[in-house]
Structure 1
């Protein structure tokens, strides 16, 4: 074998490196876990295809907690991972969403958008938007997925995402408003430790999104320059930040952007003291429970 094939030409820890021969090696690989019944909570899950090559995992609470004739809120979720690692089908995502589904008594669908660098941005955003459009096709009860047709209340839809997933959730909320997406009502969005840009150059983002115009002009990095921001289809936003998170200031800036934007909804911010970026994926402590409780209360608030 030509030794040059082992030459690394792009290296972006903790996400991935690219070899000269085109191979991509991720620093973090989390194996997918099969859907099924969670014995602890009774939450069921199944996988569906929302667009060509793009899957999603749906989570349904145990039947005993549903009320006959009353449909359940729907959470549309986008996972984090720098647009390049993680999956809606992996164990980390499952451990985070199952307790939310159980405690908030809702249905959740997590969109497994395609990852960079094999699929350069904005493919992750496009896949995620296609996922929300697919969800909306069920609003008349005639969509391809019976769990959504029979159980989801499309008048009570929530978006959620962490890190890069929060960036994506914001994007699809704006798209839903700008295109006047019919069939669902987005009541709230949970922006958890969101990733947006700042004035410093980000080499990873430049590599995975070569068409980006940079922070000053790219609305995916800088929502303040998005002419469609005022049309964001969402009643309420909760921005969740962590005290020790390197992205904390960007979450705070996002909160301030929404406050000043002229968008007609309500925005609030919640800080977790003493924790780092996406700590809830790595720990199981009182702060995780407090964060989850805050999210559940946000969803249940009328």
Structure 2
């Protein structure tokens, strides 16, 4: 019986599944507490968005130079193949902290449910609940003082990397379809986004028991969804040696042809692999990515 239960029935990029239903993940996730960055002046803290289901976030507040000036808001969705990583992990704490400092923006990094404890579509629903929670502060009477006091809800951005880019796209579609009262989402930032068409598709289908097959619009963005993205500008980052780069380019082309009325641009970093900026944040291209990420927020904000 033990030998049968230890038989592997599915082997994916991030985990394997045994005959007895046990799932073995190939990666673990570290978590660090929020902190005040003495170098950049960025402060961070954790907040509870929902207790049932459990949804939380880490908020980053840049150094306040002018208390009367409201700051743009970045709603960030971390990557990790929908099954690992965290808004509280060291790599994403450092990344979002750096974005908040460089863009002079408040960042809300959402902690959504992961597979297998919470199969898909939990990550999509949790992230949408998080974005709605941010919007609940638009009248300056929400539960989080930093958002009430400093956030400019006419300058909200959604962004994420890899699987988080995939989730970010679905959020922009929901904003365009359902609206987000009190909030204007002006920009969408996708860093090396996952949009199907690779060997990982069957992993996504396995993680999402209620999937719609390989044409599921959450896996493969549909033209009608692209046409109603609820933002004015989109920035897509591509890495030349990333196995997802072709799908990032395809997203760009499909978005331009969809009828969506907005501006989309692509930045490609040559010689780099998937999420290289997280693995070697000090390299020249990672610094360039961070600067262009922040510049997109600042440029778009200044034009409003």
Q: Give the CA deviation at 1:201.
A: 7.6
- Secondary structure of 1:28's counterpart equals coil
Quick one: distance in 2 between partners of 1:92 and 1:200?
26
C-alpha separation between the residues in 2 aligned to 1:198 and 1:8? Answer: 24
Query: How far does residue 21 in structure 1 lie from its aligned partner after superposition?
Result: 4.3
CA contact (8 A) 1:18 1:24 kept: yes
**Partner Cα distance (2:15, 2:198) in 1:** 23
Counterparts of 1:23 and 1:121, CA distance in 2: 17
1:36-60 CA distance string (max 9 Å, x none): 2122222111111112301111011
In structure 2, the partner of 1:155 is 154
Q: 1:261 to 1:30 in 2, by over 3 A?
A: same
Segments ≥4 residues shifted beyond 6 Å: none
1:183 aligns to 2:186 (yes or no): no
Task: Assess if the C-alpha contact under 8 Å between 1:167 and 1:220 holds in 2.
Answer: yes
**Could you tell me how far 1:85 is from its partner in structure 2?**
1.0
Alpha carbons of structure 1 residues 43 and 264: separation in structure 2 relative to 1, 3 Å = same
Inter-CA distance 132–297: structure 2 relative to 1 (3 Å threshold): same
In the superposition, the TM-score normalised over structure 2's length comes to: 0.93
| Structure 1: gaps of 5 or more residues | none
Q: Give the root-mean-square deviation of aligned CA atoms.
A: 1.7
1:224–1:261 Cα contact (<8 Å) kept: no
Matched residue SS, 2:129: helix
Deviates more, 1:198-207 or 1:24-33: 198-207
Q: Following TM superposition, by how much is the alpha carbon of 1:6 offset from its aligned partner in structure 2, in angstroms?
A: 4.0
Q: Could you give the per-residue CA deviations for residues 134-164 of structure 1, whole angstroms, max 9, x where no partner exists?
A: 1100000011111111111111001100011
Distance 1:200 1:246 in 2: 10
Q: SS of the residue aligned with 1:223?
A: coil
Q: Is the alpha carbon distance of 1:23 and 1:34 closer, same or farther for their aligned partners in structure 2, counting shifts above 3 Å?
A: farther
Distance 1:30 1:127 in 2: 19
User: Following the alignment from structure 2 to structure 1, what is the Cα–Cα distance between the partners of residues 149 and 87?
Assistant: 23
Partner of 2:10: 10
How far off its partner does 1:199 sit?
7.6
Name 2:262's counterpart in structure 1. Answer: 265
Name the CA distance, whole Å, in 2 between partners of 1:41 and 1:4.
54
Point out where structure 2 has 5 or more consecutive residues left out of the alignment. none
Mapped partners of 2:4, 2:178: distance in 1? 48
* Residue in 2 that maps onto 1:171: 170
Q: CA deviation at 1:3?
A: 5.4
Q: Offset at 1:213?
A: 2.0
Alignment size in residue pairs: 297
- Aligned residue for 2:231, secondary structure, equals coil
